[in-house]
């Protein structure tokens, strides 16, 4: 054949250099993408002719072990398109400002010749303030100089501090792990300033509250390679191809290794393609399916078969054998709290006896106080915080009795409520009577309560399911059909295969779960339903087993050292960290549009379960459960100053005086009057995130109340008269924020609506560190080229802002000044033992005792002239206070000394400090001071844990003693970090990371009330909400949820449940605006509709549609597909208003918004509790989350398209 | 025997995640420039679907590929002769709308818009005309069953299914999708080469890569019509046609092609095959029913000493033969019979092979409208899988369902075997039947498992040495070539029309 040519005429092939020339390049540099995808992929960035031209994945992740697939290559379609941004027309090249503001500023500066006075003149003149606020987002941006930008920002900060106090200055930046130094730059700046960091993981609704509920842990999950060890994988609410793109191969490869995979998804999602079975559970109803699965597991594998592995696991690692008191109320018994050890004579004097609990010895049938509960954790005498079967008083060994079924002294009937069909069934538990100081009380075990809850009769009297086909009895396979649309037979096969696999493999069953579940109002219950099916099968804390929740790159591996730097703990003893969901709910005035939560939250009726969420928040704040900033209706600086004037001689006396003012209500909390001017947040820094669009639940309310610009919400303020504690203003303020500053490399919605946009270096232009929970490596971002045009790294930007504030402070805030800081009762500290019951000091139910019945106080001295110096120096606190996280604290004073000798230093006021001036220096300090990357510290940390637990653990650290990583090492190759007590997976000897293996194998307790995995949540608010035991609650109905009160379906419009799952062509909003992704998708983010709904609406594929409700409107095109079920529509998270968004016809020809234009946040009140073991606040760890999936919209065809 | 070596590829569709990382890896390096914007040398399609360009598989419309002509074959559409007759009119060429009109956005408006009463937004504009445009089609328009009424339902591979059967594929119980990544097949019998009036297209002797000489191309675009896979594209800026170069500059330096390197689903394999070039014509002309079998017969066993010796005598470098002996492609295609060519009926003898996907079990809707998805055993049978075998057969085996079924049985046998090894809950008779029915021994199952599951990058891509020094030597002294490398001017090809 003539076309197979030999090289007879090489000259004619010279042209082949054409393509060779293109491939030639000058260098490649390792970096990654600081984006919230949880990928954490190592990339080589190619530079040619001084320009970044493309990127390819690095292939050199160390191999974990040869029996599992390797990690290479990691990186997806989005990551590989990043280089587009660098030189694109959407790149922010220079500092930009809203022209109207610049004109006002320059005019006032001319007049006053002082930046702070100029700013004051604008802010105190409502007309001028409105002038620039109302044009936010509407063009008129102007380039200006860095110098002027820094001057205006410094002036706004100083003015705000002087007038209101520093807790009116806020910063939002998400998910530090993705570029931890860039996050730390802003947070360090804010914490030194006295400002506030807003949380993100809970606001994004990525935090699964069930994880702290059950494990006392924010989230701790298997690295993706561990999926390969699973022999049964259930995927729910997670679309692995879309969201776990670099990891999904492990699932595919596990299948070829004999693993069965079942996918639950209402649509035929992309991952369904891999499933052996696809189960289209009705949207949000997965909990019902799992409740039925658990019913079968309990009946067949626990009760009938008594699977030894399952039974033993439950005894040892769960609260199953713990005693719960049964309380009589109006002649009926109800499960109450765990019986406290100090209620019995034997244990009445034990330390922390309110926080230690009881088992029954299976042999003697006497009560025993097991070690390892939260009380033991914080005892003065250490060494009893472990899960050995030993009595905490006398160390005697015992075997706990799991159930009283064969040892009952009686039977007590309980009413079990099933909220779906509203069934109240009388069921029995076997009881025994325990002698307490106030007489005999009936108790049962958690295990027995579980049997009753799930309807396993065990020949006890009562109303139990007649069979699996019994539709009218809660949690049977037939019962779940009503909610899921899935046949009972399907449940039965699944449950038997699930438990059967777990039994044979000792727990190698994995649930991969994600936002598709976590964003529902009752997500905690759906999660608990699935987690219980894991725990009951012994599938938690084993390789190849467990709950693999991947929503948000929350795992910042070297948390111990990083948090020290990031929150300036090396200088300041108290931080201001704000739970964002309650903050936005209150401050963006979304509470005003919300009514009584009992309208949409199914609960038993009692004093806790009715009212307005805002009131619950106010109670939560003053009780020390949740933080809230701004703190008070006057400046904290003034409060201290006045206290000193009134005679306070020291910090304690200042606190005392302030406490009295609070008690007398002379000083009030901002949370109780958020619409008063004194309560407004004033300055907002946004960096590394899209705070005004992709994460802005209730985006239009942000535009309305924060920014004061136009918006498309028409919602009715139904909150009036519904709150008792939060004050109602007839007219809600518009434009609370004085200044919004956005650091960005691209013109996204947040940048477009900000007042000042600072050009940020992109991920190929700076040094940083990255870690994720998808794998167990830490790796760097590096500068392939210097920051382009006038951009600067985040580290450099906040450093320069600190510098200009320090300069300006010389005139305006020249002296040290005291600031009183409030802080909530916190997790992983003795605060966990604060409140055994809910008592409100403000109602006179108890004394107001800071740190006990209310929040804590701290006094911090601020010296604004030293802001910059402190920013660039590692502070002296490390010489005498420990650092750490998750309750692991250790001294690093020797490392600090070493840094002073071997690390660049900075000198000021005659003293020398390790330098943090450059980002690379900060990176090295993070690596030197962490137990994950410095082997000496790893060993030290395990020694500390040995003291706390009385267990042998030091061997875990020894394997890594020699490790000492530097930034340069990571640039050479990603490194696997050390097994450390900071985390719960054991990775030594080539094991893949699986959470809680440390707890299960080494008997280190879970950080919960009982120290075990919790089936039972005995806090009185959980009892009140009927969530003490795992249960099912129906999704809020659209008519009561209230997104469609004023929006009327006119013409061909239809109500649909709108889902906003993570999409294929963006990571949130990033990448979504790139030409690459827009070309490979549909040029925009469409609204996916089922064929049936589209037909009913007269909509054809690619027609323009409006998606709208009271909260706002999104204009887009339809994507009509048979894979979408009727009744729902999908707008993948997250579009932007910045591209191809026409003007809405249903909202008066105003520019449409994005997917958050139709959301408004509701918070689940029982997640607001605090001061109680794992229910104690920690930043991004605990609190209500920003749920949004129960949202309903109208969809209609858009006849007229105007740009 | 005229033994040649060919770089060849396997795509394991069961593992493909449809992410398109491959597409962008390629685009970034090769086609991110004026005139090439609309080209996707590597693209990924959702099946069922109509793909890129729209309905490319429909040769009644595009007249690509060869057709059997008695005992011979002839180009269906754009032969040199036919082409010359139609110098100014090539009726079967896809139009830009069949691909898509490339676009961008007026991003600058976000920065430059003056203060107004509403927010600016960046509108789409054509990259060809610069005018505002409506986005109506793209290179991946029907991704993930987008727009099923207009696209998936018009998939030409449904041709042998009744309308009723086709319709059920869009219902809950049977709905499914999978992904089909596509690059140039670097065929043994390439239509593009045969159709080029300028002789600008050639297949490299040393590795079988098919290239369009950018100096010689005169923009006849006969290759665009002739290629039944529509993988030759016309660059409207340079006036030259271009196509996938299999990243020869990367291969020449021992690196996997960019699309393969970036394959994060780890579905791709590359290696060298030896084949008998004397038999190409005969194989390409055989009966459709034996096309797949005959194509496989062309591929020679590099471990056979006779073949190895003959290859050496045909001028194939010893190192290339060694590489062929380690080729993962040989294992998939010949040893195990797991990988099949795409649309062999086009008779181009494509050298890119696909392992067809396993798909979820079908379900049924019960009496009360409940969705029931249960299987008798732990894993679904091949017959229970959602996509009809006929559909897969129309893609990969000229409609022969038995061949496709056999591959799927093997894949499932490997899973059942591994389940048995790792969990032990497979009944003996079930395991026995799975192995015997598919003809896979447990040893082979282990080997397949290893190359599918725990395979490393280096085992997926076995790249032969390219011996560039020998090529250079023909032009100039190699020591001089070393000093000269890279000097010279990068000059883009002159416009061809």
pLDDT higher than 50, residue A1: no
What pLDDT, on a 0 to 100 scale, did the predictor assign at position A554?
85
Helix axes A308-317, A523-535, angle to 10 degrees: 120
Decide: helix, strand or coil at residue A919: helix
Q: Where are the alpha helices (DSSP H) in A143-199?
A: 146-163, 180-193
Tell me the C-alpha distance between B425 and A499, whole Å. Answer: 12
In Å, how far from its chain's centre is CA B109? 40
Closest of A966, A792, A805 to residue A870, by C-alpha = A805
Minimal Cα–Cα distance from A601 to chain B, Å? Answer: 27
Q: Are A840 and A854 in contact (CB under 8 A)?
A: no
Q: Give the chain B residue nearest A481 (alpha carbons).
A: B370
C-alpha to C-alpha distance for B223 and B243, rounded to whole angstroms: 10
Question: Using one digit for the tens of pLDDT, what is the confidence trace for A176-199?
Answer: 999 999 999 999 999 999 999 999
**Torsion, CA A873, CA A876, CA A878, CA A881, rounded to 10:** -150
Residue of B111, B142, B206, B280 to mutate, interface with A, max A Cβ within 10 Å: B111
- At residue A195, the pLDDT reads 98
From chain A, the residues in CB contact with B269 under 8 A are: none
Give domain status of residue B317, yes or no.
yes
How long a stretch of residues is chain A? Answer: 1203
Q: Determine the Cα–Cα distance for residues A214 and A995; give it in Å rounded to an integer.
A: 13
On the question of pLDDT at A330 being above 50, the answer is: yes
Residues 6+ apart with CB under 8 A from A1001: A541, A986
Cβ-nearest to A70 among B172, B265, B456: B456
In a domain, B145, yes or no: no
Chain B partners within 8 Å of A273 (Cβ): 176-179, 357, 359-360
Closest A-chain CA to B360: A276
Q: How far is B334 from chain A (nearest CA, A)?
A: 20
Q: What is the mean pLDDT of residues A875-903?
A: 96
A566-613 pLDDT, tens digit each: 999 999 999 999 999 999 999 999 999 999 999 999 999 999 999 999
Q: How far is CA A1031 from CA A219, A301, A527, A603, in A?
A: 21, 20, 10, 11
Condensed to tens digits (0 to 9), the pLDDT of residues A417-441 reads: 999 999 999 999 999 999 999 999 9
Model confidence at A11, in pLDDT bands (50, 70, 90)? confident
Residue whose token pair is 């449409």: A1152
- Whether A1140 and chain B come into contact, CB under 8 Å, resolves to yes
- Residues of chain B with pLDDT below 70 are 78-89, 490-491, 496-497
Nearest to A249 among B123, B177, B266 (CB): B266
Q: What is the mean pLDDT of residues A1082-1093?
A: 98
How many structural domains compose chain B? Answer: 1
Res B70: pLDDT = 87
Determine whether the interchain pair A1140/B379 forms a contact, defined as Cβ–Cβ distance below 8 Å.
no
- Which residues in chain A are contacts of B24 at CB distance < 8 A? 77, 80-81, 1076, 1080
In a domain, B93, yes or no: no
| A277 contacts B19? CB cut-off 8 A | no
How distant, in Å, are the alpha carbons of A270, A277, A481, B374 from that of B384? 19, 11, 24, 10
CA distance B175 to B197: 45
Q: Is B315 inside any structural domain? A: yes
Mean pLDDT of A1163-1183: 98
Comparing CB atoms, the residue among A80, A270, A279 nearest residue B25 is A80
- Chain B contact for A16 (CB, 8 A cutoff): yes
Burial A322-361 (b: 16+ CB within 10 A, else e): bbbbbeeeeeebbbbbbbbbbbbebbeebebbebbbbbbb
B373 and chain A in contact, CB less than 8 A: yes
Q: What is the mean pLDDT of residues A754-777?
A: 98
Chain A positions touching B125 (Cβ under 8 A) are none
CB A444 within 8 A of CB A404: yes
Whether B417 is in a domain gets the answer yes
Mutate to test the interface with B, among A10, A23, A1104 (most CBs of B within 10 A): A23
How many CB atoms are closer than 10 A to CB A1146?
Answer: 20
| Greatest CA separation for chain B | 82
Q: What percent of chain A has pLDDT over 90?
A: 98
> Which run of H or of E encompasses A431?
strand A423-436
Q: Find chain B residues with C-beta within 8 A of A28's C-beta.
A: none
DSSP string, B223-247: HHHH-TT--EEEETTTTEEEE--TT
**How many A/B residue pairs have CB atoms within 8 Å?**
376
Residue A278 pLDDT = 98
ipTM: 0.97
- Report the distance separating Cα B351 and Cα B348, nearest Å: 9
Among the partner-chain residues A140, A278, A501, the one whose CB lies closest to the CB of B373 is: A278
Smallest Cα distance from B13 to chain A, Å:
11
The pTM for the full model equals 0.98
Residue B16 lies in a domain: no
CB-based contact, A1127 to chain B, within 8 Å: no
Task: Give the per-residue pLDDT at A7.
Answer: 54
In sequence order, which residues have a C-beta less than 8 Å from that of residue B98 and are 6 or more positions away?
Answer: B53, B54
Calpha distance A400→A392 (Å, rounded): 13
Six token digits for residue A817: 């000044």
Question: Would you say B115 and A1132 are in contact if contact means Cβ atoms under 8 Å apart?
Answer: no
**Domain-embedded: residue B428:** yes
B442 touches chain A (CB under 8 A): no
Task: Please tell me the distance from the alpha carbon of residue A6 to that of residue A310, in angstroms, as a whole number.
Answer: 69
Alpha helices in A764-918 (DSSP H): 794-812, 867-871, 893-902
**A754/B contact by beta carbon, under 8 A:** no
Closest CA to A120 of A94, A156, A88: A156
**Do residue A22 and residue B29 have CB atoms under 8 angstroms apart?**
yes
Of the listed ranges A4-13, A255-264, A380-389, A952-961, the one predicted with least confidence: A4-13
- Whether residue B366 lies within 8 A of chain A, CB to CB, comes out as yes
Long-range contacts (CB closer than 8 Å, 24 or more residues apart) made by B423-428: B423/A231, B423/A258, B423/A501, B423/A504, B423/A505, B424/A504, B425/A500, B425/A501, B425/A504, B425/B378, B426/B378
Contacts of A167 (CB under 8 A, 6+ apart): A194, A195, A196, A576, A629, A630, A631, A636, A821
Show the tokens assigned to A1059: 């889902």
Tell me, yes or no, if A22 comes closer than 8 A to chain B by beta carbon. yes
* Contact: A1139, B105; criterion CB under 8 Å: yes
* Least CB–CB distance from B454: residue in A68, A72, A81: A68
Domain membership of residue B142 (yes or no) is no
CA A485 to chain centre: 31
Burial class (CB in 10 A: 0-12, 13-18, 19+), B383: exposed
Chain B CB contacts of A1078 under 8 Å are 105
Q: Indicate the burial class of B281 (C-beta count within 10 angstroms; 0-12, 13-18, 19 or more).
A: middle
How far is residue B145's CA from residue A864's CA, in Å, rounded to a whole number? 58
Are residues B213 and A1143, on separate chains, in Cβ contact within 8 Å?
no
Centre a 10 Å sphere on the Cβ of residue A841 and count the other Cβ atoms it contains: 18
**Chain position carrying tokens 């993706």:** A224
Q: Is A815 on the interface with B (CB under 8 A)?
A: no
CATH number, domain containing residue B333 = 3.30.70.20
DSSP-derived letter for residue A911 is: E
> In this complex, do A279 and B475 lie within 8 Å of one another by their Cβ atoms?
no
Decide if A718 touches B, using CB distance below 8 A.
no
- What are the helix (H) ranges across A754-839? 794-812
Phi, psi for residue B423 in degrees, rounded to 5 = -120, -40
- Domain of B413 in residue numbering reads as 265-460
Question: Residue A812 has which token pair?
Answer: 């305006």
Quick check: helix, strand or coil at residue A251? helix
Residues 248-307 of A with CB under 8 A from B: 248-249, 252-260, 263, 268, 270, 272-280
- pLDDT 10s digits, A1126-1145: 999 999 999 999 999 999 99
The verdict on B443 touching A (C-beta cutoff 8 Å) is: no
Chain-chain contact of A5 with B419 (C-beta, under 8 angstroms): no
| Mean pLDDT, residues A1077-1089 taken together | 98
Backbone angles phi, psi at B100, to 5 degrees: 165, 155
Pick from A47, A87, A278, A1071 the residue to mutate for testing the B interface (most B CBs within 10 Å).
A278
Residues A1188/A202, Cβ–Cβ less than 8 Å: no
Strand segments (E) across A830-959: 856-862, 883-885, 888-890, 905-908, 911-914
Which residues partner with A435 through β-bridges?
A440
Please say whether the beta carbons of B190 and A3 come within 8 A.
yes
Cα distance between residue B468 and residue B463, in whole Å:
14
Q: Where are the alpha helices (DSSP H) in A466-556?
A: 477-484, 488-505, 515-518, 523-535
Interface of A with B in 549-588 (CB under 8 A): none
Residue A723, SS3 per DSSP: coil
**pLDDT tens digit string along A478-489?**
999 999 999 999
Check CB contact under 8 Å for B146 and A81.
no
Question: A1076 — contact with chain B (CB < 8 Å)?
Answer: yes
């Amino acid at each position: 054949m003539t076309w197979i040519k030999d090289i007879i005429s090489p000259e004619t092939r010279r042209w082949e250099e054409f393509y060779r020339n293109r491939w030639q390049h000058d260098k490649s540099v390792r970096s990654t993408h600081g984006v919230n995808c949880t990928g954490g992929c190592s990339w080589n960035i190619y530079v040619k002719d001084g320009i970044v031209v493309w990127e390819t994945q690095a292939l050199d992740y160390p191999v974990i072990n040869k029996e599992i697939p390797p990690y290479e290559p990691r990186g997806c379609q989005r990551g590989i398109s990043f280089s587009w941004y660098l030189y694109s027309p959407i790149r922010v090249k220079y500092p930009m400002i809203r022209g109207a503001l610049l004109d006002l500023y320059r005019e006032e500066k001319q007049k006053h010749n002082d930046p702070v006075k100029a700013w004051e003149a604008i802010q105190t003149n409502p007309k001028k303030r409105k002038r620039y606020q109302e044009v936010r987002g509407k063009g008129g941006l102007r380039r200006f100089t860095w110098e002027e930008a820094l001057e205006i920002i410094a002036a706004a900060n100083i003015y705000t501090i002087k007038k209101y106090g520093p807790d009116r200055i806020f910063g939002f930046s998400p998910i530090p792990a993705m570029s931890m130094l860039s996050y730390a730059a802003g947070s360090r700046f804010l914490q030194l300033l006295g400002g506030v960091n807003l949380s993100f993981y809970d606001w994004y609704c990525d935090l699964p509250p069930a994880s702290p509920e059950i494990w006392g842990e924010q989230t701790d999950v298997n690295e993706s390679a561990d999926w390969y060890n699973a022999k049964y994988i259930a995927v729910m609410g997670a679309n692995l191809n879309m969201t776990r793109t670099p990891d999904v191969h492990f699932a595919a490869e596990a299948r070829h290794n004999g693993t069965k995979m079942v996918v639950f998804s209402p649509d035929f999602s992309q991952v369904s393609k891999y499933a052996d079975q696809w189960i289209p559970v009705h949207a949000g109803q997965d909990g019902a399916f799992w409740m039925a699965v658990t019913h079968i597991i309990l009946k067949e594998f626990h009760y009938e078969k008594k699977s030894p592995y399952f039974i033993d696991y439950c005894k040892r690692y769960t609260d199953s054998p713990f005693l719960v008191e049964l309380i009589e109320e109006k002649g009926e018994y109800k499960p109450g709290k765990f019986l406290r050890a100090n209620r019995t004579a034997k244990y009445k004097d034990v330390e922390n006896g309110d926080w230690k609990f009881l088992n029954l010895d299976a042999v003697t049938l006497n009560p025993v106080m097991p070690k390892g509960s939260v009380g033991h954790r914080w005892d003065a005498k250490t060494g009893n915080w472990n899960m050995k079967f030993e009595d905490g008083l006398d160390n005697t060994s015992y075997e706990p009795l799991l159930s009283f079924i064969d040892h009952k002294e009686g039977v007590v009937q309980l009413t079990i409520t099933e909220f779906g069909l509203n069934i109240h069934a009388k069921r029995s538990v076997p009881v025994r009577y325990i002698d307490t100081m106030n007489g005999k009380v009936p108790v049962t075990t958690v295990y027995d309560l579980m049997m009753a809850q799930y309807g396993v009769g065990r020949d006890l009297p009562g109303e139990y399911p007649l069979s699996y086909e019994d539709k009218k009895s809660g949690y049977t396979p037939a019962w779940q059909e009503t909610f899921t649309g899935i046949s009972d037979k399907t449940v039965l096969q699944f449950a038997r295969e699930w438990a059967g696999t777990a039994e044979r493999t000792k727990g190698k069953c994995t649930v991969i779960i994600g936002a598709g579940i976590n964003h529902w109002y009752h997500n905690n219950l759906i999660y608990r339903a699935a987690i219980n099916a894991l725990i009951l099968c012994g599938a938690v804390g084993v390789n190849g087993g467990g709950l693999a929740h991947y929503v948000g790159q929350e795992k910042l591996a070297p948390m111990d050292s990083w948090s020290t730097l990031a929150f300036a703990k090396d200088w300041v003893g108290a931080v201001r960290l704000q739970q964002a969901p309650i903050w936005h709910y209150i401050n963006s005035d979304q509470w005003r549009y919300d009514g009584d939560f009992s309208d949409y939250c199914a609960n038993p009726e009692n004093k806790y379960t009715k009212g307005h969420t805002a009131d619950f928040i106010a109670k939560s704040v003053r009780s020390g459960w949740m933080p809230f900033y701004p703190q008070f209706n006057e400046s904290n600086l003034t409060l201290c100053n006045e206290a000193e004037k009134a005679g306070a001689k020291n910090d304690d006396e200042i606190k005392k005086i302030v406490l009295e003012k609070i008690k007398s209500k002379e000083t009030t909390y901002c949370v109780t009057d958020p619409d008063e001017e004194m309560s407004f947040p004033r300055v907002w820094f946004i960096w590394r995130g899209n705070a005004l669009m992709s994460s802005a639940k209730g985006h239009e309310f942000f535009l309305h109340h924060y920014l004061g610009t136009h918006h498309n919400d028409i919602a009715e303020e139904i909150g009036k008269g519904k709150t008792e504690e939060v004050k109602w203003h007839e007219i809600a303020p518009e434009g609370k924020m004085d200044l919004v500053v956005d650091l960005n490399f691209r013109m996204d919605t947040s940048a477009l609506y900000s007042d000042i946009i600072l050009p940020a270096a992109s991920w190929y232009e700076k040094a940083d560190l990255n870690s994720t929970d998808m794998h167990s490596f830490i790796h760097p971002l590096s500068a392939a080229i210097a920051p382009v045009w006038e951009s600067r790294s985040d580290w450099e930007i906040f450093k320069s802002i600190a510098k200009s504030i320090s300069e300006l402070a010389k005139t305006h805030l020249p002296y040290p000044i005291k600031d009183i800081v409030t802080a909530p009762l916190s997790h992983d500290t003795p605060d966990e033992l604060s409140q055994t019951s809910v008592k409100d000091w403000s109602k006179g139910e108890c004394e107001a005792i800071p740190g006990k019945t209310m929040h804590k106080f701290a006094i911090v001295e601020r010296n604004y002239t030293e802001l910059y110096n402190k920013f660039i120096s590692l502070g002296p606190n490390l010489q005498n206070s420990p650092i750490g996280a998750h309750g692991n604290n250790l001294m690093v004073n020797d490392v600090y000394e070493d840094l002073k000798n071997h690390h660049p230093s900075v000198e000021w006021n005659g003293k020398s400090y390790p330098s943090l001036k450059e980002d690379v220096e900060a990176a090295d300090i993070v690596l030197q001071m962490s137990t994950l990357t410095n082997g000496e510290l790893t060993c030290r940390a395990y020694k500390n844990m040995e003291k706390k637990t009385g267990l042998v653990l030091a061997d875990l650290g020894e394997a890594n003693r020699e490790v000492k990583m530097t930034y340069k090492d990571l640039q050479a190759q990603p490194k696997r970090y050390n097994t450390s007590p900071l985390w719960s997976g054991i990775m030594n000897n080539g094991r893949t990371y699986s959470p809680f293996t440390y707890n299960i194998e080494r008997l280190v307790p879970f950080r919960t009330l009982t120290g075990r995995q919790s089936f039972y949540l005995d806090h009185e608010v959980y009892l009140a909400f009927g969530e003490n035991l795992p249960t099912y609650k129906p999704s809020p109905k659209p008519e009561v949820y209230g997104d469609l009160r004023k929006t009327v379906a006119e013409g061909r419009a239809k109500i649909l449940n709108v889902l906003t799952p993570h999409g294929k062509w963006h990571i949130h909003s990033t990448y979504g605006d790139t030409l690459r992704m827009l070309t490979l998708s549909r040029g925009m983010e469409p609204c996916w509709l089922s064929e049936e709904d589209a037909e009913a609406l007269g909509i054809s594929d690619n027609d323009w549609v409006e998606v709208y409700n009271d909260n706002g409107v999104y204009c887009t095109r339809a994507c009509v597909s048979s894979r979408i079920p009727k009744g729902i529509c999908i707008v993948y998270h997250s579009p932007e208003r910045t591209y191809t968004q026409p003007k809405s016809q249903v909202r008066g020809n105003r520019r449409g918004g994005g997917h958050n234009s139709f959301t408004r946040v509701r918070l689940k009140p029982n997640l607001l509790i605090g001061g109680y073991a794992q229910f104690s606040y920690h930043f991004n760890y605990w609190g209500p989350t920003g749920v949004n999936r129960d949202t309903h919209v109208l969809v209609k065809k858009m006849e007229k398209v105007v740009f | 025997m005229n033994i040649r070596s060919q770089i060849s590829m396997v795509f394991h569709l069961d593992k493909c995640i449809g992410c398109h990382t491959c597409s962008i890896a390629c685009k970034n390096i090769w086609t991110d420039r004026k005139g090439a914007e609309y080209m996707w040398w590597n693209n990924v399609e959702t099946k069922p679907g109509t793909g890129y360009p729209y309905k490319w598989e429909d040769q009644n419309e595009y007249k690509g590929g060869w057709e059997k002509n008695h005992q011979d074959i002839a180009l269906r559409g754009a032969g040199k002769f036919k082409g010359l007759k139609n110098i100014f009119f090539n009726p079967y060429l896809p139009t830009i709308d069949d691909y898509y009109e490339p676009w961008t956005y007026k991003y600058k408006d976000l920065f430059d818009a003056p203060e107004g009463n509403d927010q600016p937004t960046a509108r789409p504009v054509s990259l060809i005309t610069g005018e505002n445009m409506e986005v109506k089609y793209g290179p991946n328009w029907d991704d993930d069953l987008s727009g099923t009424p207009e696209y998936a339902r018009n998939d030409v591979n449904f041709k042998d299914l009744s309308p009723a059967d086709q319709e059920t594929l869009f219902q809950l119980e049977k709905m499914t999708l999978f992904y089909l990544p596509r690059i140039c097949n670097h065929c043994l019998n390439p239509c593009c080469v045969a159709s080029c009036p300028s002789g600008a297209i050639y297949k490299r002797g040393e590795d079988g890569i098919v290239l369009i000489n950018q100096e010689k191309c005169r923009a006849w675009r006969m290759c665009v019509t002739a290629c039944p896979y529509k993988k030759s594209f016309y660059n409207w800026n340079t006036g030259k046609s271009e196509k996938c170069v299999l990243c020869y500059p990367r291969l020449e330096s021992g690196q996997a092609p960019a699309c393969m390197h970036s394959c994060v689903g780890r579905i791709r394999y590359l290696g060298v095959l030896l084949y008998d070039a004397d038999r190409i014509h005969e194989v390409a002309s055989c009966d459709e029913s034996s096309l797949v079998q005959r194509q496989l017969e062309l591929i020679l066993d590099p471990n056979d000493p006779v073949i190895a010796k003959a290859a050496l005598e045909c001028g194939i470098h010893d190192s290339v033969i060694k590489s062929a002996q380690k080729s993962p492609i040989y294992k998939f295609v010949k040893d195990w019979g797991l990988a099949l060519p795409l649309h062999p009926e086009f008779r181009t003898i494509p050298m890119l092979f696909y392992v067809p996907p396993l798909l979820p079990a079908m379900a049924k809707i019960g009496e009360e409208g409940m969705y029931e998805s249960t299987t008798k055993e732990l894993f679904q049978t091949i017959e229970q899988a959602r996509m009809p075998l006929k559909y897969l057969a129309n893609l990969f085996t000229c409609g022969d369902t038995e061949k496709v079924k056999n591959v799927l049985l093997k894949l499932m046998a490997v899973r059942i075997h591994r389940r048995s090894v790792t969990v032990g809950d497979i009944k003996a008779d079930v395991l026995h039947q799975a192995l015997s029915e598919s003809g896979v021994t447990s040893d082979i199952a282990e080997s397949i498992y290893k190359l599918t599951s725990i395979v490393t990058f280096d085992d997926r891509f076995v790249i032969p040495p390219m011996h560039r020094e020998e090529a250079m030597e023909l032009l100039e002294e190699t020591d001089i070539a070393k000093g000269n490398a890279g000097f010279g001017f990068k000059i883009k090809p002159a416009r061809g029309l």
